[in-house]
Amino acid sequence: MNRETRAAKLALLARHCGQGRGARFARRASGQPPVSFGDLAKLPDWLDAPEAQRARIAAAAGLLRLRRAIDTELSGPRLAALAAAVGEPLFDAVCEAEVPEIVSAEKLPSPERVLAVGTQLLEAALPLALQDQFPGARDDAAARGLLARAHAIAESLA
């Protein structure tokens, strides 16, 4: 990580996880994990992105996670409803992408559930140090990898 990238990540971390003495004491007192330099590399670029961009990344992540279910779905109306919910270009881009290893074999859920899965992945990928702001943060490396792909797909359409 070069100097500029590290400085930007430090600023991002400071915005989302206070670093003053009081903040560190509060983290210890509440049993939260301390912030480490390793957390810098785990901070996603989309953390400070506008809500619309984060929603698009979450939608792409949910679609990627459920990609096997999308590929096996026979109902045209169900696929059309999902495509309408996330946008045709994003749906098509995800369906053209290589199927990731971390995919679910479940039946295709409703469009709302696909978006909820993506939102859960957004939080799961975040470092544990951000649990106070994002309760679903789990430092999940697999989710981080899936989100990196989703972010690339969403950005390619912007």
State in Å, rounded, how far the first CA of the chain is from the last one: 25
- State the pLDDT at residue 49: 86
* Beta carbons of 33 and 6 less than 8 angstroms apart: no
Convert the pLDDT of each residue in 91-105 to its tens digit. Answer: 999 999 988 776 666
Q: Is the pLDDT of residue 63 over 80?
A: yes
* Domain regions of the chain by residue span: 47-157
Q: How confident is the model at residue 26 (pLDDT cuts 50, 70, 90)?
A: low
Q: How confident is the model at residue 51 (pLDDT cuts 50, 70, 90)?
A: very high
**pTM for the whole structure:** 0.78
The three state secondary structure string of 82-117 is HHHHHCHHHHHHHHHCCCCCCCCCCCCCCHHHHHHH
